[in-house]
Structure 1
Amino acid sequence: MNPFEMVIGIVLIVTVGSIIRAKLGVRRDRHGNEHFANNGASAAEARRLQEEVRTLKDRIQVLERVITDNHSSSSLDREIERLRDERK
């Protein structure tokens, strides 16, 4: 094996190893310490964001219903006040 083939082999091994580590979620911080990217804090953040998206979808449904309904302005006022009370 000549030196050129050895360099290509080393680069290939390091590249494949880096790809595998990325797929497994292993990350390095700036000090070289390794840790998994999907820890408990990120899972809690994901749950919080899912709940926020669910809340926003509900609000969009209400807005669509309010806009498309043909009710009088008084019933619209009552609906808006009811929604404000639910948020508190």
Structure 2
Amino acid sequence: MSFGATLVAIVAILAWASLRHRRHSTGQAAFPASDPAENVALAREVAALRNRVEVLERILTDQRGSIDLAREIESLRER
């Protein structure tokens, strides 16, 4: 490793340590506290996404013909 690369690595490590120490000493959390209403909205979105993943998994694992698959895709588009 060249002298310049070593110097850059040392400066980067010191900067990271300084920021971490400052954050820890001020009690600042890594993630700020969020709004409870936002949490509810995110929980709903996660539930909806899980439902969509379940449908996609069912579509991929069913052994039905391509006609049934096309019908199911069209029904999902209509939602």
What is the aligned-residue RMSD (CA, Å)?
Answer: 2.1
Structure 1 gaps of 5+ residues are 1-14, 28-36
Q: Name the count of aligned residue pairs.
A: 52
Q: Answer with 1 or 2: which has the greater Rg.
A: 1
Task: Determine which structure has the larger strand proportion and give its number.
Answer: 1
Structure 2 gaps of 5+ residues are 1-24
CA distance in 2, matches of 1:43, 1:64: 31
Between the two proteins, what is the percent identity of the paired residues? 44
Residue 64 of structure 1, CA deviation: 0.7
- CA deviations over 1:27-50 (Å, ceiling 9, x no partner): 9xxxxxxxxx56xxx111111100
Q: Secondary structure at the match of 2:64?
A: coil
Q: Secondary structure at the match of 1:80?
A: helix
Residue of structure 2 aligned with 1:52, choices 29, 45, 49:
45
Letter in 2 for 1:46: N
1:66 equivalent in alignment to 2:59: yes
1:77 equivalent in alignment to 2:77: no
Under a length normalisation based on structure 1, what TM-score does the superposition of the two structures give? 0.51
Under a length normalisation based on structure 2, what TM-score does the superposition of the two structures give? 0.56
Task: Determine which structure has the larger helix proportion and give its number.
Answer: 2
CA distance in 2, matches of 1:78, 1:71: 11
